[in-house]
Amino acid sequence: MTAMEILRDDQLIKMVPLTDEQKVWLEDYNRREEIKSEYKRLRIKAILRVPKIIFFSPLAIACRVMCVASRIVGTVSAIGLPYGAYCVYKVAAQMIEGAALFETTHFYQLCIFFVLPFVAFFFFWLFQTLYSFFRENSR
């Protein structure tokens, strides 16, 4: 056996090659350490999976219910969009004349018939995204 000399941090270190017995022991040790780390990783993963199942499954169901409800509200209120556009025209005309936004006669109709469909479909998209996230991660 010959020693190999290397220079590390201004110190001369002699490295001796491993014998066959030392190589077998080192391989066995590395394999055991890998099995231990894999077991720890799987155990932690199993422990963290239980709260996901407990919390994400009901949240997925609730998001699905809210998704369906917001889609129904958005669809029903979308029928009134032409009247909502008319209310936008009336509110804009009253604001040009000098009326405050909240004092206009068609402000509440504007909110219900023009703004509500867009807000409802935004909530539909939000709850649909949350539902798909919770559904994917609850398994």
The answer to whether position 44 is within a domain reads no
The answer to whether position 37 is within a domain reads no
Q: What is the pLDDT of residue 67?
A: 95
Q: What is the pLDDT of residue 52?
A: 79
Indicate the number of domains in the chain.
Answer: 1
Structure tokens at 40: 């720890």
What percent of the chain stands above pLDDT 90?
32
Q: What is the pLDDT of residue 5?
A: 59
Average pLDDT over residues 114-122: 92
The answer to whether position 106 is within a domain reads yes
Segment 1-56, tens digit of pLDDT: 445 556 566 666 666 777 888 888 888 989 999 999 888 888 887 777 777 788 88
The answer to whether position 23 is within a domain reads no
**Domain span including residue 94:** 50-137
The answer to whether position 124 is within a domain reads yes
The answer to whether position 109 is within a domain reads yes
9 Rama class: left (phi>0) / alpha (psi -120 to 50) / beta: left
118 exposed, middle or buried (CB, 10 Å; 0-12, 13-18, 19+)? middle
Q: What is the pLDDT of residue 7?
A: 59
